[in-house]
């Protein structure tokens, strides 16, 4: 039986849209079954403000994706198309709606001459009640003679046919330049881009400058990142594709590095929000990638990201592209299957972003926080399950709630970063163990999901084999037992987040 208060809408709200079609069937008491590949656990399509879509990919064959924050209730998406010949925009009132809405071409390259080559990495920005698209283009006689350009529109909707080419954004050198982005901070607008600087043996470095207007920079470029670390120089020496997010007293700039195959990855630059952003000394580079290929989730070459927010206007969302296979024939630039993907961006206790892993297919993702330890999360470490605060490896604390393998009305908790493993009772402790097609595994990994014993807005996990036994938090570890009083009921209650 489902306890009062745990209805369909509440489950969606508890987890930020964190329920699956199969899970909702279990909660309502209907029969549900699951396969290890989650084919029976697709995400519920909702338009509630709390929902972050779990559609993966969100849009196929759109690389270098850029999704705006909502403007007058609409999200807009643009990105590189496989033909590299045009700029497209699609819009929808929800992130999930971007997957199925019609797409409009707002600009095509000329048939010859300047900008008649490859069209790369458009970004769409609303500045002073006008729309601007920053993009890179080659020439028809030399498609790799890439330079940066800008379009402008006074229309309220960027899909309207109202665009004017404002020309090239010039810098100190007439060299390979691309991947421009812009952001405002403390009353000043900045422009960040990638460029080859004469005299430096790299393909591209990252630069920043203040903007004189939305179509021009002022002053000299300031170099803030050069690819030198091992993960930045695989195949090519590249820093490119910057994206800004300002939170917690700091300015964060993600960027992408190395060749565009499975070696492509994301790094992070950080500056104090009060610092002079035009001083290279203000920026610190991460020593390791913050997002990279994950063989277990089958996501290869994640990168060239942007940021938006969920429909609640507050929850940060990471937007990026990745392939779902490793091996590529020929030049990876011409492999079309870099797909647009979105997932929640988390934050560590010290205010830094926690990217996790590029997640694979499946339903919504949950983190469980014990009611008696509200700043801690259930996580696995060396396949044992425990409860920790400040989980830096955020993927260790991410699970998908899917229909159980044995018995009606049961659920299983699937690890996000070890998708072949599920939460399983082993004696009195809990582990994440590989799936096996046995009755014992089905019983040990199956739970009844109920409204929380101490708070009906949360959840409790009852064991399949014992109607009075629950998963409990005790002194930083998960165990099983029969709750005896209020304290035990709190130990057996978990908030979803």
Q: What residues are annotated to the active site?
A: 64, 240
Question: Do the beta carbons of residue 37 and residue 362 sit within 8 Å?
Answer: no
270: left (phi over 0), alpha (psi -120 to 50) or beta: beta
CB proximity list for 331: less than 8 A, separation 6 or greater: none
Q: For 52-176, list the strands marked E by DSSP.
A: 63-67, 75-80, 86-92, 103-108, 119-127, 130-139, 142-153, 163-168
Q: Are 306 and 321 in contact (CB under 8 A)?
A: no
CA gap 324, 262 in Å, rounded: 10
E strand or H helix at 8, and its extent? helix 8-14
Q: Which of 117, 116, 135 has the alpha carbon at shortest distance from 125?
A: 135
Contact 432, 418 (CB under 8 A): yes
Helix (H) or strand (E) holding 21: helix 21-27
Distances (CA, A) of 219 to 20, 165, 222: 52, 23, 9
Read off the tokens for 222: 């300031």
Element (H, E) at 431: strand 429-434
Return d(Cα 465, Cα 204) in angstroms, integer: 60
Backbone region of residue 138 per phi and psi (left: phi > 0; alpha: psi in -120 to 50; beta: other values): beta
* Cα of 333 vs its chain's centroid, Å: 22
Nearest to 421 by CA among 459, 387, 389, 395: 395
Q: What span, in angstroms and rounded, lies between the C-alpha atoms of 215 and 353?
A: 30
DSSP 3-state of 230: helix
Q: CA 165, CA 239: separation in Å to the nearest integer?
A: 27
Omega before residue 57 within 30° of 0, cis: yes
The dihedral over CA atoms of 282, 356, 63, 201, expressed in degrees to the nearest 10, equals 40
Token pair, residue 247, equals 């939170």
- SS3 state of residue 231: helix
The CA distance from 401 to 423, in Å, is: 10
Q: Tokens 């591209």 sit at which residue?
A: 204
The CA R_g of the chain, rounded to the nearest whole Å, is: 24
User: Phi and psi for 81 in degrees, rounded to 5?
Assistant: -95, 155
């Amino acid at each position: 039986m489902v306890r009062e208060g745990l209805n369909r809408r509440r489950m969606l709200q508890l987890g930020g849209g964190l329920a699956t079609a199969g899970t909702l069937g279990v909660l309502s008491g209907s029969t549900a079954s699951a396969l290890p590949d989650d084919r029976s656990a697709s995400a519920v399509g909702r338009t509630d403000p709390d929902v972050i879509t779990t559609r993966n990919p969100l849009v196929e064959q759109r690389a270098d994706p850029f999704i705006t924050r909502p403007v007058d209730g609409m999200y807009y998406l643009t990105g590189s198309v496989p033909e590299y010949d045009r700029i497209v925009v699609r819009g929808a009132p929800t992130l999930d709606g971007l997957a199925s809405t019609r797409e409009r071409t707002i600009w095509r390259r000329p048939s010859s001459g300047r900008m008649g080559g490859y069209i790369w990495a458009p970004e769409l920005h609303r500045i002073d009640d006008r729309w601007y698209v920053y993009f890179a283009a080659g020439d028809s006689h030399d498609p790799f003679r890439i330079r940066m350009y800008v379009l402008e529109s006074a229309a309220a909707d960027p899909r309207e046919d109202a665009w004017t080419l404002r020309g090239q954004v010039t810098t100190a050198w007439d060299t390979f330049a691309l991947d421009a982005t812009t952001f405002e901070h403390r009353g000043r607008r900045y422009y960040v881009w990638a460029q080859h600087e004469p005299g430096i043996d790299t393909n591209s470095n990252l630069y920043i400058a203040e903007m004189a207007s939305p179509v021009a920079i002022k002053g000299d470029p300031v170099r803030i990142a050069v690819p030198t670390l091992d993960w930045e120089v695989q195949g090519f020496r590249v820093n490119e594709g910057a994206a800004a997010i300002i939170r917690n007293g700091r300015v964060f700039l993600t960027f992408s590095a190395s060749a565009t195959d499975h070696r492509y990855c994301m790094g992070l630059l950080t500056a104090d929000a009060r610092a002079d952003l035009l001083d290279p000394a203000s920026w610190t580079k991460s020593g390791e990638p913050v997002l990279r290929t994950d063989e277990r989730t089958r996501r290869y070459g994640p990168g060239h990201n942007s940021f938006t927010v969920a429909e609640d206007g507050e929850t940060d969302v990471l937007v990026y592209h990745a392939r779902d296979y490793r091996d590529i024939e020929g030049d990876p630039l011409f492999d079309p299957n870099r797909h647009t993907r979105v997932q929640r961006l988390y934050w560590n206790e010290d205010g830094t972003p926690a990217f996790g892993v590029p997640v694979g297919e499946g339903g919504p993702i949950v983190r469980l926080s014990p009611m008696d330890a509200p700043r801690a999360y259930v996580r696995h470490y060396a396949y044992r399950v425990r409860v920790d605060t400040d989980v830096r490896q955020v993927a260790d604390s991410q699970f998908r709630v899917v229909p159980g393998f044995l018995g009606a009305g049961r659920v299983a908790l699937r690890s996000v970063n070890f998708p072949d493993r599920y939460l399983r009772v082993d004696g009195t402790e809990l582990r994440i163990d590989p799936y096996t097609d046995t009755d014992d595994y089905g019983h040990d990994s199956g739970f009844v999901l109920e409204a929380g014993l101490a708070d009906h807005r949360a959840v409790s996990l009852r064991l399949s084999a014992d109607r009075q036994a629950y998963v409990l938090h005790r002194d930083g570890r998960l165990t099983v037992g029969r709750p005896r009083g209020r304290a035990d009921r709190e130990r057996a209650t978990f908030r979803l987040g």
